[in-house]
Chain A
Amino acid sequence: MLTETRLVWRFNRGCRDALREIYERHKVDLVTLATALLADKTDAEDVVHDVFLRFARSTGKFRLTGSLKGFLATCVANGARNRNLAGRRRAGHEGDPSDAPAPDCQRPDWAAVFGDDLRRVGLALAALPYEQREAVLLHLRSGLTFRAIAEVQAVSINTVQGRFRYGLDKLRALLDGETFPCEQPKTLPK
Chain B
Amino acid sequence: MRTTQDLTEVIRRLRVPASAALDERIRNALSRGAPPAAVEAPADGPGTLTLLAMLMRKKPVRVVLGGLATAATVLALVLPASTTVAWSMDQTIAALQKYRGVFMVGRGLGRTSDSVFMLWGRANPSGTASEACLLIADHKVVWAKDNVTHYYEPAEKRVLVDRATTAFLSPWFGPKLFGMMSRVGDPTAREEADPVTGERRVSFRCSLQTAKGPESWLIEFDPKTKLPTRLKQWDKARPEGQPALDVERILYLEDVSPEVFSVHVPPEVRFVAKDLEIPEANLPLLADPKSGMSADGLSRNEACRRMVQAFWGAAMARDLARLRELCPLVSGWNDALVRGILDQDAAVELLEIGAIEKEGRSRLGSMALVPSRVRCRDGRQLEVKILVQFRETDAGTTSCVVHAPYGIPFEIGENTPTRR
The stretch among A44-52, A74-82, A98-106 that forms the contact with chain B is A44-52
> Which listed residue (A13, A41, A52, A114) contacts B14, Cβ 8 A?
A114
Cα of A136 to Cα of B114 in the assembled complex, Å? 31
A141: chain B residues at CB < 8 Å are 11-12, 14
> In the complex, how many residues of chain B place their beta carbon closer than 8 angstroms to a beta carbon of chain A?
57
B264: chain A residues at CB < 8 Å are none
Assess the A16–B35 pair: CB atoms within 8 A: yes
Q: A144: shortest Cβ distance to chain B, in Å?
A: 12
Q: Does A111 contact B (CB under 8 A)?
A: no
Q: A161: shortest Cβ distance to chain B, in Å?
A: 13
Cα of A168 to Cα of B2 in the assembled complex, Å? 10
Q: A140: shortest Cβ distance to chain B, in Å?
A: 5
Assess the B16–A44 pair: CB atoms within 8 A: yes
The stretch among A4-12, A87-95, A182-190 that forms the contact with chain B is A4-12
B211: chain A residues at CB < 8 Å are 65
Q: Which partner residue on chain A sits nearest B36 by CB separation?
A: A57
Q: B354: shortest Cβ distance to chain A, in Å?
A: 30
Assess the A2–B4 pair: CB atoms within 8 A: no
> Which listed residue (B22, B54, B55, B110) contacts A48, Cβ 8 A?
B22
Contacts of A105-137 to chain B: CB distance below 8 A: 113-115, 118, 121-122, 125, 136-137
> Which listed residue (B1, B30, B112, B213) contacts A172, Cβ 8 A?
B1
Assess the B110–A4 pair: CB atoms within 8 A: yes
Assess the B15–A32 pair: CB atoms within 8 A: yes
Q: Does A18 contact B (CB under 8 A)?
A: yes
Assess the B4–A14 pair: CB atoms within 8 A: no
Q: A166: shortest Cβ distance to chain B, in Å?
A: 13
The stretch among B38-46, B73-81, B218-226, B411-419 that forms the contact with chain A is B38-46
Assess the B18–A171 pair: CB atoms within 8 A: no
Assess the A121–B14 pair: CB atoms within 8 A: yes
Cα of A118 to Cα of B27 in the assembled complex, Å? 30
Q: Does B363 contact A (CB under 8 A)?
A: no
Query: Between A and B, how many residue pairs show CB distances below 8 Å?
Result: 179
Contacts of A1-52 to chain B: CB distance below 8 A: 1-7, 9-16, 18-20, 23, 25, 27-28, 31-32, 35-36, 41, 44-45, 48-49, 52
B12: chain A residues at CB < 8 Å are 140-141
Assess the A3–B16 pair: CB atoms within 8 A: no
Q: B3: shortest Cβ distance to chain A, in Å?
A: 9
Q: Which partner residue on chain B sits nearest A171 by CB separation?
A: B7
Assess the B281–A140 pair: CB atoms within 8 A: no
Q: Which partner residue on chain A sits nearest B4 by CB separation?
A: A168
Cα of A63 to Cα of B281 in the assembled complex, Å? 12
Q: Which partner residue on chain A sits nearest B210 by CB separation?
A: A65
Q: Which partner residue on chain B sits nearest A7 by CB separation?
A: B110
> Which listed residue (B39, B245, B280) contacts A2, Cβ 8 A?
B245
Assess the A32–B281 pair: CB atoms within 8 A: no
B26: chain A residues at CB < 8 Å are 23, 27, 49, 52
Q: Which partner residue on chain A sits nearest B3 by CB separation?
A: A172
Q: Does B72 contact A (CB under 8 A)?
A: no
Cα of A168 to Cα of B211 in the assembled complex, Å? 32
A2-B244, A121-B10, A121-B14 are contacts. A59–B35 as well, Cβ < 8 Å? yes
Assess the B14–A28 pair: CB atoms within 8 A: no
Cα of A20 to Cα of B18 in the assembled complex, Å? 14
B18: chain A residues at CB < 8 Å are 27-28, 31, 45, 48
Assess the B1–A57 pair: CB atoms within 8 A: no
Cα of A156 to Cα of B15 in the assembled complex, Å? 30
Assess the B55–A5 pair: CB atoms within 8 A: yes
Q: Does A97 contact B (CB under 8 A)?
A: no
Q: Which partner residue on chain B sits nearest A174 by CB separation?
A: B1
Q: Which partner residue on chain B sits nearest A9 by CB separation?
A: B46
A31-B16, A48-B18, A118-B14 are contacts. A18–B235 as well, Cβ < 8 Å? no
> Which listed residue (A5, A113, A172) contacts B7, Cβ 8 A?
A172
> Which listed residue (B27, B30, B38, B112) contacts A13, Cβ 8 A?
B38
Q: Does A96 contact B (CB under 8 A)?
A: no
Assess the B38–A59 pair: CB atoms within 8 A: yes
Q: Does B37 contact A (CB under 8 A)?
A: yes
Assess the A6–B45 pair: CB atoms within 8 A: yes
Cα of A187 to Cα of B32 in the assembled complex, Å? 55
A141-B11, A176-B2 are contacts. A60–B280 as well, Cβ < 8 Å? yes
Cα of A125 to Cα of B12 in the assembled complex, Å? 13
> Which B residues are within 8 Å of any A CB, using their own CB?
1-2, 4, 7-8, 10-19, 21-23, 25-27, 29-30, 34-42, 45-46, 48, 51-52, 54-55, 108-115, 211-213, 235, 244-245, 279-281, 284
* 19 residue pairs bridging A and B, Cβ less than 8 Å apart: A9-B45, A12-B279, A13-B281, A25-B111, A41-B16, A45-B18, A48-B22, A53-B29, A59-B35, A64-B212, A118-B15, A122-B14, A140-B8, A141-B14, A168-B7, A172-B2, A172-B7, A175-B7, A175-B10
> Which A residues are within 8 Å of any B CB, using their own CB?
1-7, 9-16, 18-20, 23, 25, 27-28, 31-32, 35-36, 41, 44-45, 48-49, 52-53, 56-61, 63-67, 113-115, 118, 121-122, 125, 136-137, 140-141, 168, 171-172, 175-176
